[in-house]
Structure 1
Amino acid sequence: MIDELNQKLNQAFAGRVVRKDLTKKIKEGANVPVYVLEYLLGMYCATDDEASINEGVERVKSILSENFVRPDEAEKVKSKIRELGQYTVIDKVTVRLNEKVDTYETEFSNLGLKGVSISPNYVKDFEKLLTGGIWCILKMSYYYDEEAKGVNPFTITGVTPIQMPNMDLEEVFEGRKNFSKEEWIDALLRSTGMESTKLEQTVKWHLLARLIPLVENNYNVCELGPRGTGKSHVYKEISPNSILVSGGQTTVANLFYNMASRTIGLVGLWDVVAFDEVAGITFKDKDGIQIMKDYMASGSFARGKEEKSANASMVFVGNINQSVDVLIKTSHLFDPFPDAMAGDTAFFDRMHYYIPGWEVPKMRPEFLTNEYGFIVDYLAEFFREMRKRSFSDALDKYFKLGNNLNQRDVIAVRKTVSGLVKLLYPNGEFTKDDIEEILRYALVGRRRVKEQLKKIGGMEFYDVHFSYIVNETLNEEFVSVPEQGGGKIIPEGIGKPGHVYTVGRGDSGMIGVYKIETEVVSGSGKFERSGLGNSRDAKENTLTAFNYFKANNKSISASISTKTKDYLMHVQDIQGIGMTRELTLTAFIAMCSGAMGKPPQSQLVVLGSMSIGGTINKVEELANTLQVCFDAGAKKVLLPMASAADIPTVPPELFAKFQMAFYQSPEDAVFKALGVE
């Protein structure tokens, strides 16, 4: 299988592929980006003939050892240029205009030279020299003139940027026809250095999702996960068209537009601007985040009197230091973002996709490939050309999106679908099943964003139940997010007597699901509780319920005894958000249910609480509470009559999901919960 794919790549893309173990071998000895290395390997080793490869590798090694400038050897290289009069170097070069003397001057990253003049022709041809710089092969010469004081003796006589000079997309479209979907995915991932045959299917899709910003304009994606999973590798090493902003602090001038020099920032010059370690993102300017939000939503931003547009995609990568389970229970998955962004739902709502970094394994040697893949420079140019096309309507032929998706969700899903079609089916040849697979993946990543927005912003984002409708059959298919737990908290079917669910606000301030389990055993009237931790409120609540139960049980059933039975109660904080104080009424119903040996109705949640005298309190934040009930799998809800006035605050489509029953007193609640007339 492996050999077959290598063969196919060499036949369909002769001269465009390279063996990735060569890159690894040389990379370990030379600190240059992968695309620089593979540019050279592509020149000398794009073949499957072993002898030619070995010869080519030696050639590349000697070019790197002689011409690549290591910072510690800068003086030696300068001396060579002086002694030989002319010399070729490989270095990263940045150019700026010195308007005082009207010349373009270069700065060398490793050679340490500044103020070397360069012909304006090169600057016109390669604009990126002016913005962040590019790696080049440069011919340098040296001439010192005693007469010309202050003139730099170093001059540049030739510049070859380390990038593909041209790209024929038809070659890719034709070549793609020779590969199955699985083979093409393997070829793409091997091109980025990963051995895809060692990875699970879901991981392959996440690695493909990392590439979407390179093929799709104005695509905003975020990936948070453990350290060492290669989150920033693609943006730093694989493409000369993306820039990784490390360290976090940036300015509006650098990122968007410099008013003083009237030059556009990184978003206008690179295809992808990636932020490494989101926790450290800070703007020196107060309006930085606002401008970023504006740009992420529309691809344009206002500076001074004019509106500027750009195509760069935004990528946010960072580390999650706790387990995802803990984060989901106690906070939200955008938690690592800095405080200035953390509570800003409008900022996160602009994310088109959230890649679950915790599902990607940590990089180990066996995950790095030794097989053939595209020369990354060729790959980068293919990606760049695909940015000019769009497949955002690819799903319309077969599917419609469900009504829980708002306009932002629809845009996000369409962009993800478009990006994945460009990567997998660049020639536009795909089937209904191909699109369905992509569509499901796109919906899950956007729903992950929406689930977190619901946690941060509450009811404004209640509509998270994403679906799509098949045009042919009109069947509606829903997607779930793995970490939210596909299994419902409240199971179907009749439960046990004494087991009752409620939803209330926990100590953490979040609303969650609680289960009260009551066992009634022979004894002398004792009441024992567990699961309440150190919560004094919860202990008082349950004791109030027991006292009310002792005083009023005969109005429920003559068969209940509090003198010959012991009542053992356990309260479970199912979502780990801290104990709630809204337990009194539910605890009373649980004791009655256990004492009578009668289970509550199936999939029922009891809402509301009561005071020591049996006065019923209404539910706070009814809409949010009902949303939690729905997510937990509740079908029936028992609600205090006092909450009827708040029903208009609940979206009608959410309210319609439940069978509602209203109660006026604790006793009324017991009968309705147990289905006793």
Structure 2
Amino acid sequence: MNALSEKLIENFAGKIVRKDLTKKIKEGANVPIYVLEYLLGMYCSTTDEDLVTQGIVTVKNILSDNFVRPDEAQKIISKLRERGSYTVIDNVSVKLNFRNDVYEAEFSNLGIKNVPVPEQYASDYERLLCGGIWCIIQLEYFFDEGDKSRCPFIIQKLTPIQMPNLDLDEVIRGRECFTKDEWIDVLLRSIGMEPDKFNDRVKWLLLTRMIPLVENNFNLCELGPRGTGKSHVYKEISPNSILVSGGQTTVANLFYNMSNKTVGLVGMWDCVAFDEVAGITFKDKDGVQIMKDYMASGSFSRGKEEKNASASMVFVGNINQSVNVLLKTSHLFEPFPEAMVCDSAFFDRMHCYVPGWEIPKYRPEFFTNDYGLITDYLSEFLRELRKTSYSDMFDAYFKLGNNLNQRDVIAVRKMASGLMKLVYPHGKCDKGGVEEILRLALESRRRVKEQLKKIGGMEFYDVNFSYIDNESFSEEFVPVPEQGGGKLIPEGLHKPGQVYTVSRGKSGMIGVFKLETEMVAGSGKFERTGFGSDRDAKEAIETAYRYLKANNRNISGTISMTTKDYLMHLQDLNGSGITSQLTLAALVALCSAAMKKPVISSLAILGNLSIGGTIMKVEELANVLQVCLDSGAKKVLLPIASTVDMVLVPPELMGKFNLIFYQSPEDAVFKALGVE
């Protein structure tokens, strides 16, 4: 036995279980893990292998003899009537019937209700009154001929097999006996994972999945490859979360049913998770709007009333392409349904985006065989922590940079609070630990903002998130790993005839386009590829070639249009649809190939040329410059006519480039090629 397991047994005796035992029995018993582990904690919480073996037999017998399957409910009720008494395992919830001043129970699987409950059970086990818990119940059956309205079911004895209550101070005292790394390993083993198989980065990402269970109204998104366990925590680990499979739901089911005036899932659960986000649909037209309102404020309006709830929202789904391809051609929210993608404000409500592609696909060795906290004990501990907040925990050491707006600040504080509660529930954390959590919180929110910038343009320009040290006043910027490297416009000199331009494509998205031109001996032919059947783009290229034919002597005497053939190929690097704004960039590319001189490094060519030779300014200059920056451009060739629009560009963005202005097509060619 390792030192961590010994520490667990010492500090959490009776509250731990060997996770390999859970796996063994779970495979043959369709019962919730939190029920199973509570029984294992009662009968197998020992290091003696003989006692463990006996305990497993006991647990299996209890489950086979007493667990009520819904399809066998009538059979059990019949046995109860014949024998007069019977012991069952079922989920029991209790309500006070204030008209008769008695507590009454409802049995979930057995399907019976209005069963009188002795008062002491309601006072001793408060969770019976808060949605119900799993119990072992000794029932008796007595039908009174004289009073047929009387319920024939009698509760002789009720024993919870979930934690009936939790001493939070006990957990916090136990936490103080562990180091940060040890406690993280305890949490991961408690949800069934083996921490020794993961690096620190993956451990933190796995912990991030648990924030919705510990933080009220926290909105989390995780998209990634299949088989990485995205929905595991929300389905198996906590009895307080629900997984909406398939994604189809109604406003009445999720929020509020106006016909019977009952609050939906967000009022009944701590966490509502949507599996397979691509399939999220509402039968009601206003479903997305109500969800958006709830995600922003924790409240929603139905009819004449406004209702509040504290459930966190989780969205998990699959990405079918590599992240690099998705970042170049679209955005990381692409798997969501169109109704949500069209509304950038919906994604602005996301507090955190977990990079699911960084978590390895689960293999058998990733699941632990070691000791961890009983799942029910863990989930109750997490639920109890929802009542506290550590959102101001970093204020003593750091303040946030000025690129964060109010929604960004709320998101970062919520996520930092959640991680703090998970790792440092006792509130004792040094500056280094606080900084580690703050950086992950800033990165997770920035990932949301980076994609919003792609979807919504300049409205979401401020993405350079940072934090400032209160002592040294030094400012640290937090990057997003997948945004770095692999720029579309690479540094260094390219081959002659190779240029990059940025403009709006057919799809409506602003994209980066690459023109490659080859010059060979010939008779003045001009061929083009990569344009498909797009007439506007072909005409734009032809206009550039005709202009060069008519004005080549004004540019260079070395350019020959009669003894050389030119071949031009167009690449749509973002998949944004071919653009027709290509004439000026094509002219520069032709001249570069003809003069065998490359354009200057890291250059994006903006602007266009009309058939009559008139320079046209750049439309949506701020948005186009933002795409230039994201694509790696450091120099921008810009028509002088666009200077009138520069007041609309944020100074921080303008300062990222070396702007080179041109007045005529010839001037553009000279400056692009670096010719004095």
TM-score w.r.t. the length of structure 2 is 0.91
Letter of the structure 2 residue corresponding to residue 630 of structure 1: L
- Between 1:452-461 and 1:256-265, the stretch displaced more is 256-265
Aligned residues of 1:10 and 1:48 also touching (Cα < 8 A): no
Map of 1:85 onto structure 2? 84
* Distance apart, 1:220 and its partner CA: 1.0
**Alignment partners' CA distance in 2, 1:455 and 1:438:** 27
Flag the 1:91–1:641 CA change in 2: closer, same or farther, 3 A.
same
2:675 maps to 1:676: yes
- 2:414 is paired with a residue of what secondary structure? helix
* Distance apart, 1:252 and its partner CA: 4.3
Map of 1:629 onto structure 2? 628
**Alignment partners' CA distance in 2, 1:519 and 1:401:** 51
Flag the 1:284–1:570 CA change in 2: closer, same or farther, 3 A.
closer
**Alignment partners' CA distance in 2, 1:541 and 1:278:** 41
1:452-499 deviations in Å (ceiling 9; x for gaps): 222322221122222333444444333333344444332334444332
- 1:517 is paired with a residue of what secondary structure? strand
Flag the 1:129–1:178 CA change in 2: closer, same or farther, 3 A.
closer
- Between 1:574-583 and 1:278-287, the stretch displaced more is 278-287
Map of 1:19 onto structure 2? 18
Root mean square deviation, CA, Å: 3.0
- 1:395 is paired with a residue of what secondary structure? coil
Map of 1:396 onto structure 2? 395
**Alignment partners' CA distance in 2, 1:159 and 1:282:** 42
- 2:2 is paired with a residue of what secondary structure? helix
Map of 2:240 onto structure 1? 241
Letter of the structure 1 residue corresponding to residue 309 of structure 2: A
Map of 1:220 onto structure 2? 219
Map of 2:50 onto structure 1? 51
* Distance apart, 1:115 and its partner CA: 5.5
Flag the 1:497–1:467 CA change in 2: closer, same or farther, 3 A.
farther
Flag the 1:501–1:112 CA change in 2: closer, same or farther, 3 A.
same
Map of 1:612 onto structure 2? 611
* Distance apart, 1:544 and its partner CA: 2.3
* Distance apart, 1:412 and its partner CA: 0.6
- Between 1:28-37 and 1:39-48, the stretch displaced more is 39-48
Map of 2:656 onto structure 1? 657
**Alignment partners' CA distance in 2, 1:457 and 1:587:** 29
- 1:240 is paired with a residue of what secondary structure? coil
Map of 2:578 onto structure 1? 579
**Alignment partners' CA distance in 1, 2:205 and 2:387:** 23
Consecutive unaligned residues of structure 1, counting only runs of 5 or more, are none
**Alignment partners' CA distance in 2, 1:127 and 1:467:** 45
1:93-147 deviations in Å (ceiling 9; x for gaps): 4567889999876554433445645567766777776786543322322112233
Aligned residues of 1:33 and 1:236 also touching (Cα < 8 A): no
**Alignment partners' CA distance in 2, 1:176 and 1:107:** 37
Letter of the structure 2 residue corresponding to residue 355 of structure 1: V
- Between 1:311-320 and 1:126-135, the stretch displaced more is 126-135
Map of 2:314 onto structure 1? 315
**Alignment partners' CA distance in 1, 2:538 and 2:27:** 62
- 1:389 is paired with a residue of what secondary structure? coil
Map of 2:138 onto structure 1? 139
Flag the 1:150–1:13 CA change in 2: closer, same or farther, 3 A.
closer
Map of 2:554 onto structure 1? 555
* Distance apart, 1:349 and its partner CA: 0.9
Report the identity percentage: 71
Map of 2:467 onto structure 1? 468
* Distance apart, 1:325 and its partner CA: 4.4
- 2:416 is paired with a residue of what secondary structure? helix
Map of 2:208 onto structure 1? 209
Q: How does 1:293-372 map to 2 (within 5 A)?
A: 293-303=292-302, 307-372=306-371
- Between 1:122-131 and 1:172-181, the stretch displaced more is 122-131
- 1:69 is paired with a residue of what secondary structure? coil
1:511-567 deviations in Å (ceiling 9; x for gaps): 111222333344443434344344443333223222222221110112222334343
- Between 1:70-79 and 1:457-466, the stretch displaced more is 70-79
Letter of the structure 2 residue corresponding to residue 337 of structure 1: F
* Distance apart, 1:414 and its partner CA: 1.5
**Alignment partners' CA distance in 2, 1:96 and 1:566:** 87
**Alignment partners' CA distance in 2, 1:609 and 1:132:** 66
Map of 2:381 onto structure 1? 382
Flag the 1:211–1:645 CA change in 2: closer, same or farther, 3 A.
same
- 1:25 is paired with a residue of what secondary structure? helix
Flag the 1:27–1:178 CA change in 2: closer, same or farther, 3 A.
same
Flag the 1:484–1:536 CA change in 2: closer, same or farther, 3 A.
farther
**Alignment partners' CA distance in 2, 1:127 and 1:256:** 25
**Alignment partners' CA distance in 2, 1:295 and 1:461:** 21
Flag the 1:537–1:483 CA change in 2: closer, same or farther, 3 A.
farther
Map of 1:37 onto structure 2? 36
1:416-456 deviations in Å (ceiling 9; x for gaps): 11111211222223333323322222222212211222232
* Distance apart, 1:623 and its partner CA: 1.7
Map of 1:232 onto structure 2? 231
- 2:290 is paired with a residue of what secondary structure? helix
Aligned residues of 1:329 and 1:577 also touching (Cα < 8 A): no
Aligned residues of 2:469 and 2:475 also touching (Cα < 8 A): yes
* Distance apart, 1:243 and its partner CA: 2.6
* Distance apart, 1:394 and its partner CA: 2.5
Letter of the structure 1 residue corresponding to residue 449 of structure 2: K
Flag the 1:124–1:612 CA change in 2: closer, same or farther, 3 A.
farther
Flag the 1:556–1:43 CA change in 2: closer, same or farther, 3 A.
same
**Alignment partners' CA distance in 2, 1:126 and 1:104:** 13
* Distance apart, 1:321 and its partner CA: 4.2
Q: How does 1:531-542 map to 2 (within 5 A)?
A: 531-542=530-541
- Between 1:471-480 and 1:390-399, the stretch displaced more is 471-480
Aligned residues of 2:116 and 2:155 also touching (Cα < 8 A): yes
1:208-227 deviations in Å (ceiling 9; x for gaps): 11101111122111222334
**Alignment partners' CA distance in 1, 2:275 and 2:55:** 35
Map of 1:405 onto structure 2? 404
* Distance apart, 1:326 and its partner CA: 4.7
Flag the 1:474–1:502 CA change in 2: closer, same or farther, 3 A.
farther
Map of 1:435 onto structure 2? 434
* Distance apart, 1:254 and its partner CA: 4.2
Map of 1:497 onto structure 2? 496
**Alignment partners' CA distance in 2, 1:101 and 1:589:** 89
Aligned residues of 1:235 and 1:274 also touching (Cα < 8 A): yes
Consecutive unaligned residues of structure 2, counting only runs of 5 or more, are none
Aligned residues of 1:131 and 1:269 also touching (Cα < 8 A): no
**Alignment partners' CA distance in 2, 1:664 and 1:322:** 43
* Distance apart, 1:164 and its partner CA: 1.7
1:365-418 deviations in Å (ceiling 9; x for gaps): 222111111111121122122223322223233333222211111111121111
- Between 1:495-504 and 1:482-491, the stretch displaced more is 482-491
Aligned residues of 2:588 and 2:672 also touching (Cα < 8 A): yes
Map of 1:192 onto structure 2? 191
- 1:224 is paired with a residue of what secondary structure? strand
- Between 1:23-32 and 1:588-597, the stretch displaced more is 588-597
Map of 1:450 onto structure 2? 449
TM-score w.r.t. the length of structure 1 is 0.91
Aligned residues of 1:131 and 1:266 also touching (Cα < 8 A): no
Flag the 1:99–1:336 CA change in 2: closer, same or farther, 3 A.
farther
Flag the 1:390–1:131 CA change in 2: closer, same or farther, 3 A.
closer
- Between 1:326-335 and 1:389-398, the stretch displaced more is 326-335
**Alignment partners' CA distance in 2, 1:527 and 1:568:** 6
**Alignment partners' CA distance in 1, 2:471 and 2:496:** 46
Aligned residues of 2:216 and 2:386 also touching (Cα < 8 A): yes
Q: How does 1:263-278 map to 2 (within 5 A)?
A: 263-278=262-277
Aligned residues of 1:514 and 1:573 also touching (Cα < 8 A): yes
Letter of the structure 1 residue corresponding to residue 213 of structure 2: L
* Distance apart, 1:57 and its partner CA: 1.6
**Alignment partners' CA distance in 1, 2:10 and 2:648:** 64
1:62-103 deviations in Å (ceiling 9; x for gaps): 111111112343344223322332222112345678899998
- 1:443 is paired with a residue of what secondary structure? helix
Flag the 1:119–1:348 CA change in 2: closer, same or farther, 3 A.
farther
